[in-house]
Amino acid sequence: MNRFVISQSSRCIGCGTCAAACSTAHKAAGLQAHPRLTITKTDDISSPVLCRHCEDAYCARVCPVKAITHDAKSQRVVIDEKTCIGCKMCALACPFGAITPSGTSTAGVAGIRTVTPTYSKALDPLLAWEVGVKAVAVKCDLCAFRPEGPACVGACPTSGLMLVEYDELRRAAAVKSRQNAKQGSGMSIDAALAAFKGRD
């Protein structure tokens, strides 16, 4: 069983409010300000990509220093930033592309005269490199430090994000299957979740 934030692309407007809320919440908690989600856009849709907190996480399997573990109690896949060596193996192994390397630039730090190189904003963070920066893996942690839950969920203006349990998704899929059998047509995840929760 695992918990994760699911995105409903039919409701996403690509505004970036979720990423801003994530960044603000983590910065306020003294953590890296890099958003723990990435908004993917196509010509037709946009949708945030977040960690699924896999039970048998590939990222944890490939980590050479065991910096990534599955916390069974909180049902989260957790990264220990102090142990992470920034090898980026986890980001390469993640099937969802939910892990991004991030670090703090040395630009402006007293006593450092090295100019931090710049690169195109279009360059993928996996390929970026900066002088003196230790980039560590960053991914969704379900805002475990916030009693009210993930900041992105509450910030979404269209209610396009929700925190779900695996069992809840399984039951919603069963509702969807029953509806499909009755109607002979497809049903959106929005309708399945609404039917499961008893909402219109």
Distance CA 68, CA 81 (A): 9
Q: Please indicate, yes or no, if residue 175 is contained in any of the structural domains.
A: no
pLDDT for residue 183: 74
Structural domain of 47: 3-109+116-166
pLDDT for residue 184: 60
Q: Please indicate, yes or no, if residue 62 is contained in any of the structural domains.
A: yes
Q: Please indicate, yes or no, if residue 70 is contained in any of the structural domains.
A: yes
* Domain count of the fold of the chain: 1
**For 74-91, how does the pLDDT look when each residue is reduced to its tens digit (9 = 90+)?**
788 999 888 998 899 999
Task: Report percent pLDDT > 70 for the chain.
Answer: 77
pLDDT for residue 200: 44
CA atoms within 13 Å, Cβ hemisphere of 27: 11
**For 40-59, how does the pLDDT look when each residue is reduced to its tens digit (9 = 90+)?**
998 889 999 999 999 889 99
Contact status, residue 48 vs residue 161, Cβ threshold 8 Å: yes
What are the tokens at 3? 């918990």
pLDDT for residue 168: 77
- Statement: residue 191 has pLDDT above 70: no
Highest mean predicted confidence (pLDDT) among 18-22, 26-30, 128-132: 18-22
The whole-number average pLDDT for the span 82-105 is 88
Q: Please indicate, yes or no, if residue 87 is contained in any of the structural domains.
A: yes
Helices 189-197 and 166-183, packing angle to 10 deg: 110
* Residue 32's CATH number: 3.30.70.20
Q: Please indicate, yes or no, if residue 105 is contained in any of the structural domains.
A: yes
Confidence of residue 195 (pLDDT cuts 50, 70, 90): low
- Statement: residue 194 has pLDDT above 80: no
Per-chain mean pLDDT for the chain: 83
Q: Please indicate, yes or no, if residue 137 is contained in any of the structural domains.
A: yes
Q: Please indicate, yes or no, if residue 183 is contained in any of the structural domains.
A: no
pLDDT for residue 125: 67
- From the number of C-beta atoms within 10 Å of its C-beta (0-12, 13-18, 19+), residue 84 rates as buried
Q: Please indicate, yes or no, if residue 171 is contained in any of the structural domains.
A: no
